[in-house]
Structure 1
């Protein structure tokens, strides 16, 4: 069995090298000090651009939701254009603008054709958005009200309440504790001056990275990077986030809600992006609850007992320790037994670790489908932006499959025993009694 495992590891490592050797990542610094990561992808005459700032909800401070609100406001007016004119600028050249905020980052992105005149207009409009936002009072009030309405609607969903309570429980006073959208009370208190201050502090050259993937030469990518960074202020890097403290003890909390299904989340903070246990935990979780119909959690909860339609687990690595989460939905009357089965399945996996057969199946599945996760420019951009922001090695994609293939059953068992503590799990349920 060990020989078979070693052979599969060697084959998968070779496949990984062949798959990614043809798409090297170029990295350089602009004349303004901006960090750039570029992958040339000839073929379709398109380019995807993403500017990522260390300006996620962990930077909200006392104004929960300000990071998301700021990112949403950027496209509502910039330079000499209002929100409608910006949309027309992009539509006229077939370009698309996007943005998103998570706990660690806020990013703004552009997809454009690479024909010279079309690309020039796209980049010009994009540059205005990131460097010359208007932040008009009327647009601020409009977007703020939209977000308040959205939060009110979300409060009527048990899944939202479970997630909100779960993060508060596992992170306590840490900046990761509140949801990215913030909360209504905090949003109401945010003023336009707070938005401008947040933008001026975090949307600066030293606090961002630029990822570019598309049908461009390196010289063309260099010129775009120079253009985008030239009007941003140099600024400073955001301060390091505080270390995440583990919960002091386990907790089980039920929130009564008039629903026929109970939403259950359980977990604790575990994994950061550069964690040395990343690959053993990643592979192990695929076996435990990350592989859908064939995972242990699904088999025990759905397959054997029919307690839920699905059951899952996942790690969400962040700059600091991101959460390990297990989840399911079940009928109210079955919630207690579902939680018991979920806890026992995790405890058994931590105690015993995976079998060799389970490990090999997981490795084949993870490596075999890895290339499909970025089989187009937009998907590839997601990975390039991620490794750029977290400053992972440039050969991260080249070596990923090999590192997955080299994980042993003992490493998985050891990592789960050291890092996932059943006596510290935070278990949140929301539903009817």
Structure 2
């Protein structure tokens, strides 16, 4: 597998071609003939946020059925066709996108793109795979019903974005899944799978002209325009609230968070640096040092910035013994307040910038990673120049920037906290 750029190749953006097919379908292409493989990632904007009202899980179920039979091929025949030519094809749904991933040997490209065409245009949604995939999703949810990580996360999301699609479970729940019908999925497919919301990235042993023809073959028959429901922008809610879900287990799982900073906000890059200092780093983060190393309260603790198309949050989590939940939360809140009031040290800022710049290349060390990153940039609304500018922006974050954004991001330090377990003395 190839890396998009190395220390000897200063520009990642220069490696990317924008290919536009005769039918007007655009893809970002990185040609690489080191191995005879082609990796493709695609994404349709919309995702689980477009689930029918009262029926969360529809987009996830639809994604799970796109490769379960299409055109003249039923589920068994479709999977056999993939296996015969060692083609990997899968689909998944997130809150803002429904995505697909394909990998094939270059000699099997024609067959791979034909199977991709069938999946996105002619998925059968037959009764047997519909029932089977629904049953698999429900079985997974039943197993997770007493999993503290799942319970804390589900509770946290519901409280973060009440009465909004972002607060609903992407995979649905045990009530909504049995109510989904084939007509629900047909309507969702009609609204989601369209050329105007399609983003594509391809990496590997294929040239622009050949790719252009395959793009028209695979995606050219899709509707020109989708029919997405408008999703309102939403602020994070619940800061200062603590919600406990009782589970009879010796260790509690904690999720915490507050309003974040959007990916297109001028302060987002500085917020990325600041979050790394708080809990995004592995061994250098304050939360790791204070919660794990100094006090032994937890094995792991983290924070991260999460951005959606219509919202953003700072979130984090840890797991600890029930009797140490209160102490763990106190330490976490203390570190957030200290960063808000005083900002980071010069050493913390320097380490964070160096790590974020140096580790960026690890996102581009395989063809599949490169394709994924390129589609991610497109769905987030960035151009290819971001590939070069990002590290320059990280390096340019000053102490004044960091202190200002600490105050903005961490504010008064109040957090929404969701806990699954039986915390003591909280």
TM-score category, normalised to shorter length:
over 0.9
Structure 2 partner of 1:234: 224
Structure 1 partner of 2:78: 86
Structure 2 partner of 1:120: 110
Q: 1:25: how far off?
A: 2.1
Confirm whether residue 329 of structure 1 aligns to residue 322 of structure 2.
no
Do the aligned partners of residues 21 and 359 (structure 1) sit closer, same or farther apart at CA in structure 2, a change above 3 Å counting?
A: same
Structure 2 partner of 1:19: 10
Q: What is the CA–CA distance in structure 2 between the aligned matches of 1:144 and 1:22, rounded to whole Å?
A: 41
Q: 1:388 aligns with which of 359, 378, 383?
A: 378
Report if the CA contact (8 A) 1:205-1:235 is conserved: yes
Do the aligned partners of residues 68 and 30 (structure 1) sit closer, same or farther apart at CA in structure 2, a change above 3 Å counting?
A: same
Q: What is the CA–CA distance in structure 1 between the aligned matches of 2:36 and 2:16, rounded to whole Å?
A: 19
SS at match of 1:176: helix
Q: 1:239: how far off?
A: 4.3
Report if the CA contact (8 A) 2:273-2:352 is conserved: yes
Q: What is the CA–CA distance in structure 2 between the aligned matches of 1:326 and 1:129, rounded to whole Å?
A: 37
Structure 2 partner of 1:420: 410
The unaligned stretches of length 5 or more in structure 2 are: 1-5
Of residues 55-64 and 15-24 in structure 1, the stretch that sits farther from structure 2 once superposed is 15-24
Structure 1 partner of 2:300: 310
Structure 2 partner of 1:279: 269
Confirm whether residue 191 of structure 1 aligns to residue 181 of structure 2.
yes
Tell me how large the CA RMSD over aligned residues is.
1.9
The unaligned stretches of length 5 or more in structure 1 are: 1-14
Q: 1:322: how far off?
A: 2.7
Structure 1 partner of 2:348: 358
Q: What is the CA–CA distance in structure 2 between the aligned matches of 1:243 and 1:362, rounded to whole Å?
A: 31
Report if the CA contact (8 A) 2:153-2:255 is conserved: yes
Matches within 5 A, 1:55-70: 55-62=46-53, 63-70=55-62
SS at match of 1:108: strand
Q: What is the CA–CA distance in structure 2 between the aligned matches of 1:201 and 1:288, rounded to whole Å?
A: 40
Structure 2 partner of 1:170: 160
Report if the CA contact (8 A) 2:247-2:421 is conserved: yes
SS at match of 2:223: coil
Question: TM-score normalised to the size of structure 1?
Answer: 0.92
Do the aligned partners of residues 365 and 112 (structure 1) sit closer, same or farther apart at CA in structure 2, a change above 3 Å counting?
A: same
Confirm whether residue 95 of structure 1 aligns to residue 78 of structure 2.
no
Report if the CA contact (8 A) 2:68-2:79 is conserved: no
Of residues 154-163 and 387-396 in structure 1, the stretch that sits farther from structure 2 once superposed is 387-396
* 1:382-406 superposed Cα distances (whole Å, 9 cap, x missing partner): 1101111122021111111111111
Do the aligned partners of residues 32 and 424 (structure 1) sit closer, same or farther apart at CA in structure 2, a change above 3 Å counting?
A: farther
Q: What is the CA–CA distance in structure 2 between the aligned matches of 1:40 and 1:81, rounded to whole Å?
A: 32
SS at match of 1:91: helix
Structure 1 partner of 2:204: 214
Do the aligned partners of residues 132 and 253 (structure 1) sit closer, same or farther apart at CA in structure 2, a change above 3 Å counting?
A: same
What is the total number of aligned residue pairs between the two structures? 418
SS at match of 2:66: helix
Q: Which structure 1 residue ranges, 4+ long, deviate > 6 Å from structure 2?
A: none
Q: What is the CA–CA distance in structure 2 between the aligned matches of 1:378 and 1:198, rounded to whole Å?
A: 27
